[in-house]
Chain A
Amino acid sequence: MKKLIISLILIAGAGTLWSQDKGSLTISGSYMYMPQYRMHGAGYTLSLQHSLKPWLSLEAGGGYTLGARTIERNETVNDVRLLNLNYHHAAYSLYAAPVLKARSSRAVSLELYAGPVITWQSNVFDLNRYEMPESPDYIGRMTNIVYVNRVLEGTFFGGIAGFRVNLRTGENWEVNLGVNATGIIKAVSSVNASIGIRYCW
């Protein structure tokens, strides 16, 4: 249900912006780092921009990110073999943001943007994974591996802020490089470096 609502909002927002003059459509891929859990990952974002003034636009976008981290342990303590731990992250996000533009020339422009984010995240964190020593005959176990994890899943709110540099490569085309930070309350935040391609009209 939440995914459906998010999809409808995305379609409605995109339709509204698409119907306006002087807009752009950007698709970008990103490298993502989540400092709180030191996960790395990648994702993509699709965004629409509508110009209100030469220095101000409105942007709405959505994307999908995947991240992971492996903590190598492979040590034995008290006859217990500590196994590797893994963190996994997946998220769908939607954001809307005013964009401030500064243009040094026709070829290069700088954009600053910040706005609210709604995200649906699924995070699985291994808290522990270990192999117990062999048990005596009177103890029965399905497996000697004990696995403890924490699942953090749901819809969360936060903010996004960042900048990007646009390089004009054709009459209607731009390539951009950007950096942003996404802070999510009670879930996983991230910083992202992205490269994208934009079609302007």
Chain B
Amino acid sequence: MKTPVIPILFLSVALLASCDSTEMTSPVVVFDALTPPIYKFKVTLDASGSFSTEEGDWLEYRWDLNGDHLAWETDWSNNPVVTLQFPYEHNGYIGLQARDQNGNITELYQGFYTNVNYGIIRPNTDLEIDFRTINYQFSFPDHHWSWMWAYDNIQLPGSAGWYNFPASADRALYGTLMPWPVANNLEEDYRLPSKADWQKMIDFCGGAALAGFNLQVKAEHGLQLTLPGLVTAGQLREHGKTGYYWTGDEADEDSAWALKITEGSDEAEFVILDKSSLASVRLMVEFINYR
């Protein structure tokens, strides 16, 4: 009789279906910005804290950098780090998907806020040609910090002791290239920023790896450093390609440190220049008011 075969067959099929195992996990996804994001500044997002809960597994990532939920701005990549120009003036979402090797995906969207509190003023100074300042304000539980930087490259009247660009538009844009001794004694109330002062600004602008870009960004809240170049041995060099900005720190008797930024490079670096070289100048001052 063939009938008893039927239940045995069904039983076998049923048991077989029951024993098919399935991976039931998805990655743990976390990401953060390496520095506080600022509108139009480059910022690095880091998802390297993400991991798979499966041993020996590894993840791939893709980003929705404009938070529109419509398309992914990056392809799948093994690199958990991405650098972007922060697209939001005030706040917005950025999304990340991570995929494990079984194809399971975890998606995370986070809101990012940016709030640079600043004002641009034209203060009274000792200089014949005024400059504007940008006044950044930071509030902490126990004190208030006003951080004022020249918003324009310092411009001096014509003189044989420094270099002024022939065209007035260039003079307004690039300021005056001057030797370190002149730069270091320009103004009573504002000082030539030290390396430490510049380093704080570099940190504010995303760190040394991104500050070269962010210091040049054409955004109202940025310093908008220009690339006048450098005058050495009476010759203007690297005009439009680099910018050298004096620091208040001497390297030795004949040379001093300067900040160097370069066209097309995200990096900012400190270099040593002969004090007789003619470089650009921004001045700054800061006030800390304890509550």
Task: List chain A positions with a Cβ less than 8 A from chain B.
Answer: 34-37, 56, 77-80, 82, 87, 98, 100, 112-115, 125, 127-128, 130, 132-133, 135-141, 146, 148, 150, 158-163, 181-185, 189-191
Contacts and interface: CB of A to CB of B under 8 A. Distances in A.
A14 B83 CA distance: 66
Given A140-B110, A183-B17, A114 B49 contact: no
Contacts of B22: 36-37
A185 B111 CA distance: 41
A161 B11 contact: yes
A183 B15 CA distance: 7
Given A36-B20, A78-B30, A127-B26, 4 more contacts: A114-B9, A115-B10, A159-B14, A189-B17
Report whether over half of chain A's contact residues are helix, strand or loop; otherwise say mixed: strand
B7 interface: yes
Nearest to B29: A146
Interface string B1-26: 00110111111011111111110111
Given A78-B51, A79-B49, A136-B36, A127 B113 contact: no
B37 interface: yes
Nearest to B110: A139
Contacts of B112: 138-140
A79 B26 CA distance: 17
Of listed A98, A112, A163, residue having the most chain B CB within 10 A: A112
B32 A114 contact: no
B82 interface: no
B53 A100 contact: no
17 contacts: A36-B22, A37-B24, A80-B30, A80-B49, A114-B6, A128-B25, A128-B28, A128-B53, A128-B106, A132-B30, A135-B110, A138-B37, A138-B113, A139-B112, A141-B111, A181-B11, A183-B18
B108 interface: yes
Contacts of A115: 10
A184 B17 contact: yes
Nearest to B104: A127
Of listed A113, A115, A181, residue having the most chain B CB within 10 A: A181
B18 A127 contact: no
Report whether over half of chain B's contact residues are helix, strand or loop; otherwise say mixed: mixed
Contacts of A185: 17
B14 A139 contact: no
Interface of B: 3-4, 6-11, 13-22, 24-30, 32-33, 36-37, 49, 51, 53, 91, 104-108, 110-115
A112 B4 contact: yes
Contact of B15 (A80, A130, A139, A181): A181
B113 A139 contact: yes
B3 A100 contact: yes
Of listed B22, B24, B36, residue having the most chain A CB within 10 A: B24
A11 B277 CA distance: 98
B28 A140 contact: no
A148 B24 contact: no
Given A132-B30, A138-B112, A190-B18, A100 B10 contact: no
Nearest to B17: A183
B26 A148 contact: yes
A132 B47 CA distance: 12
B49 A161 contact: no
Contacts of B49: 78-80
A163 B167 CA distance: 100
B21 to A, nearest CB: 6
A181 B7 contact: no
B25 A139 contact: no
A100 B18 contact: no
B7 A114 contact: yes
